[in-house]
Amino acid sequence: MNNPLQNISRIGLALAMASILLLTACSRLTEDNLQKIHNGMTTAEVKAILGEPTNSATSSALGIVSGTTYTYHTSSSDVKITFLNDKVIATEGEFK
């Protein structure tokens, strides 16, 4: 006879593993894709090419200028893309 708690644990483990596989499969951060990013692109255009960033931080000055930094981190890369008023102004990073 199966214990209901064991079934719930198995379902939770299966969902966690599926999520990890999905996130890994969705990683689009490659050197080729990074070369497609250029100054003037919007955050939406960058996300369309690279996917969601690992982290993002936004700040503004006097409500006039808004700056955002997207960080993409994988086991083989660390990349930062800086936006000013929703437009790319700098890309930096490396692939190992």
What is the predicted pLDDT for the residue at 22? 46
Backbone Cα Rg of the chain? 18
Q: Is residue 23 part of a domain?
A: no
pLDDT-derived band at 25, boundaries 50, 70, 90: very low
Could you tell me if residue 16 is inside a domain? no
Within a domain: 62: yes
Residue 18 domain-assigned (yes or no) = no
> Residues 38-85: pLDDT tens digits?
999 999 999 999 999 999 999 887 777 889 999 999 888 899 999 999
Give a yes or no: residue 13 inside a domain.
no
Long-range contacts of 80-88 (CB under 8 A, 24+ apart): 81/37, 81/46, 81/53, 83/42, 83/43, 86/42, 86/43, 87/39, 87/40, 87/41, 87/42, 88/37, 88/38, 88/39, 88/40, 88/41, 88/42, 88/46
Our count of domains for the chain comes to 1
Q: CATH number for the domain including 84? A: 3.30.1450.10
3 within a domain of the structure (yes/no): no
Instruction: Say what the pLDDT of residue 19 is.
Output: 52
